[in-house]
Amino acid sequence: MRAWIGILGLVCAIGAQAAPKVAVTDMAFEQQVEQYIHTVSAQTNIQVNRYSASGSSSYNEYEARNTYIEQGELRKFSGDIKGEILKSGMFQLVQGTPYTAGAKEDVYDVIKRIKNGNFKGADYVLFGTVSDIDFRQDINEIANTNSHSAVLGLTLVGDFSLINTRTFEITSAFTAMGEGQDTKLVNGNDVRVNANRGRVVREVSKSIGMDVARQLREQLRGEVEYSQDQPAPRNNLPRDEAPKILR
């Protein structure tokens, strides 16, 4: 009896393997920064002797424009991505080392960051980059009224790759998008309209997290979710015919 219990326990231990561990990076981005420098210096020297006074002056002006590329990570939208991955049950999460301005690595060189030990304990790294981010503000007229709708919207698009930390193989790759907006009704008496930016960011974070988890399930497990816009596929079997009595 004890032998059977031991065998069953061994089978259960083998069958219930732990989910692989993944580190989720904040989405990398780079932006062009332009620096303008304008300095003016003026100096006057006066010399006085017993009989007269004399002086001299100097004027210097310096102007320059410097342009450079600044890299970083967008830290506002990774929380919901991690939460949706945990809900899916596909992975365990480990915390990687965030990218800082003083880092020596290129933020896009994820292979070098893996080799440098920035994602210790992770079997995979979900590396995301910002491909497009767009804040928009619109004011639209409402027909037959003196009111308007003020809309603040945000769209975020990111490219993601799931990378094996031992072989550097890309096991999944996709583009995910998050959207959110806040709409307020205003009229001519409203002097100032304050849009709820926090709500917009929260909606974008939630929707992009759900999109990332959905595409991971689709590519790694083959799970496809169907909506009204994308109905479930039907078979091509012919329609059933009514029974006939043969004589």
Range of the domain at 114: 18-32+68-220
Residue-wise pLDDT for 130-144, tens only, equals 888 888 888 877 777
Q: Are 13 and 6 contacting, i.e. CB atoms less than 8 angstroms apart?
A: no
Instruction: Examine residue 177 and state whether it is found in any structural domain, yes or no.
Output: yes
Structurally, how many domains does the chain consist of? Answer: 1
Residue ranges with strand state E in 49-86 = 53-74
**Residue that wins the pLDDT comparison between 169 and 76:** 169
User: In the chain, pLDDT over 90 holds for what percent of residues?
Assistant: 34
Instruction: Examine residue 49 and state whether it is found in any structural domain, yes or no.
Output: no
Q: Are 22 and 171 contacting, i.e. CB atoms less than 8 angstroms apart?
A: no
**Tokens at 224, concatenated:** 């496809």
Query: How far is 85 from 5, CA to CA, in rounded Å?
Result: 35
The pLDDT, as a whole number, for residue 6 is 44
**Residue that wins the pLDDT comparison between 68 and 209:** 209
Closest by CA position to 70, among listed 47, 36, 113, 99: 99
With cut-offs at 50, 70 and 90, classify the pLDDT of residue 11: very low
Instruction: Examine residue 146 and state whether it is found in any structural domain, yes or no.
Output: yes
Instruction: Examine residue 202 and state whether it is found in any structural domain, yes or no.
Output: yes
**Residue that wins the pLDDT comparison between 4 and 1:** 1
With cut-offs at 50, 70 and 90, classify the pLDDT of residue 178: very high
With cut-offs at 50, 70 and 90, classify the pLDDT of residue 62: low
The pLDDT, as a whole number, for residue 45 is 62
Instruction: Examine residue 235 and state whether it is found in any structural domain, yes or no.
Output: no
Identify the weakest region by mean pLDDT among 73-77, 98-102, 193-197, 228-232. 228-232
The pLDDT, as a whole number, for residue 5 is 45
Instruction: Examine residue 77 and state whether it is found in any structural domain, yes or no.
Output: yes
Mean pLDDT of 215-239: 68
The pLDDT, as a whole number, for residue 20 is 92
Mean pLDDT of 162-166: 95
CATH of the domain at 172: 3.40.50
Closest by CA position to 213, among listed 170, 178, 189: 178
- Residue 7 confidence (pLDDT) above 80: no
Instruction: Examine residue 239 and state whether it is found in any structural domain, yes or no.
Output: no
Instruction: Examine residue 57 and state whether it is found in any structural domain, yes or no.
Output: no
- Residue 41 confidence (pLDDT) above 50: yes
